[in-house]
């Protein structure tokens, strides 16, 4: 069970990052100011870092029941568990691990990888970023379908209980029917009318 609202928020941030990363190339080419380019490069790294952080939130949010959080799992193991559970199924392990490594470099302020390497990485794996978003959207869709099915089953059970209550009205008193079927006493009383 997932909170679809949180997953939708994750998708929004991921898509925003991709829009900004996609628009980077044109803006970068159109400036000659070296300081502006440096700031733009840092922004590019920041959006990649933010995308990865959203991916980690997605993994954490969808991990319930997949593994025990007390287990000492490596990131690669966590990714593999999610892939085996049909999450991130069309996303390459190589891409996910490289994205994580780059994020760690950005987060800790290391100079490696250099900007050119990050830039090449993004365009080399551009389609993989879209696949990650598709996977998150697919998780949202599956969760909404599960919730709808749950509501349908609940309504169906309620209708079945009401039908049974109608049949029992001639045999049992209202309070006994209410206790046995878990129906509100007022509902049972209204069936008599």
DSSP per-residue letters across 12-29: HHHHHHHHHHHHHHHHHH
Quick: pLDDT tens for 77-103. 888 888 888 888 888 888 988 888 766
Considering the domain architecture, whether residues 121 and 183 belong to the same structural domain is answered as: no
Buried b (16+ CB within 10 A) or exposed e, 50-86: bbbbbbebbbeebbeeeeeeeeeeeeeebbebbbeee
pTM of the model: 0.72
Q: Can you give the pLDDT at residue 65? A: 75
Considering the domain architecture, whether residues 24 and 97 belong to the same structural domain is answered as: yes
Considering the domain architecture, whether residues 92 and 118 belong to the same structural domain is answered as: yes
pLDDT above 90 as % of the chain: 24
Cβ distance 126 to 71 under 8 Å?
A: no
Q: Can you give the pLDDT at residue 130? A: 95
Q: What is the mean pLDDT of the chain?
A: 83
pLDDT beyond 60 at 9: yes
Considering the domain architecture, whether residues 113 and 168 belong to the same structural domain is answered as: no
Q: Which domain holds residue 51?
A: 4-142
Q: Which of 5-9, 89-93, 102-106 has the lowest mean pLDDT?
A: 102-106
Averaged pLDDT for residues 70-80 = 82
Considering the domain architecture, whether residues 77 and 134 belong to the same structural domain is answered as: yes
Q: Can you give the pLDDT at residue 193? A: 66
Considering the domain architecture, whether residues 177 and 89 belong to the same structural domain is answered as: no
Element (H, E) at 120: helix 115-124
Task: Compute CA distances 115 → 25, 42, 52, whole Å.
Answer: 13, 8, 17
Averaged pLDDT for residues 139-155 = 79
pLDDT beyond 60 at 108: no
Cβ distance 151 to 163 under 8 Å?
A: no
Q: Can you give the pLDDT at residue 131? A: 94
Considering the domain architecture, whether residues 41 and 111 belong to the same structural domain is answered as: yes
Considering the domain architecture, whether residues 114 and 78 belong to the same structural domain is answered as: yes
Provide the CATH number for the domain around residue 82.
Answer: 1.20.120
**How many structural domains is the chain composed of?**
2
Q: Can you give the pLDDT at residue 74? A: 83
Q: Can you give the pLDDT at residue 80? A: 85
Q: Can you give the pLDDT at residue 113? A: 65
Considering the domain architecture, whether residues 138 and 152 belong to the same structural domain is answered as: no
Considering the domain architecture, whether residues 103 and 180 belong to the same structural domain is answered as: no
Considering the domain architecture, whether residues 183 and 126 belong to the same structural domain is answered as: no
Considering the domain architecture, whether residues 99 and 185 belong to the same structural domain is answered as: no
Cβ distance 178 to 185 under 8 Å?
A: yes
């Amino acid at each position: 069970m997932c909170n679809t609202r949180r997953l939708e928020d994750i998708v929004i941030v991921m898509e925003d990052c991709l829009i900004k990363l996609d628009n980077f190339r044109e803006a970068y080419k159109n400036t000659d100011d070296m300081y502006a380019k440096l700031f733009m490069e840092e922004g590019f790294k920041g959006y990649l870092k933010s995308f990865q952080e959203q991916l980690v939130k997605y993994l954490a949010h969808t991990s319930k029941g997949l593994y025990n959080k007390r287990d000492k799992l490596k990131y690669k193991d966590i990714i593999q568990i999610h892939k085996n559970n049909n999450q991130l199924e069309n996303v390459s392990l190589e891409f996910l691990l490289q994205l994580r490594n780059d994020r760690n470099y950005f987060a800790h302020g290391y100079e490696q990888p250099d900007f050119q390497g990050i830039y090449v990485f993004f365009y080399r794996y551009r389609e993989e970023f879209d696949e990650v978003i598709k996977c998150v959207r697919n998780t949202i869709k599956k969760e909404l379908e599960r919730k709808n099915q749950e509501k349908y089953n609940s309504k169906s059970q309620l209708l079945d209980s009401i039908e049974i209550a109608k049949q029992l009205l001639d045999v049992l008193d209202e309070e006994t029917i209410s206790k046995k079927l878990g129906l509100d006493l007022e509902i049972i009383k209204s069936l008599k009318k």
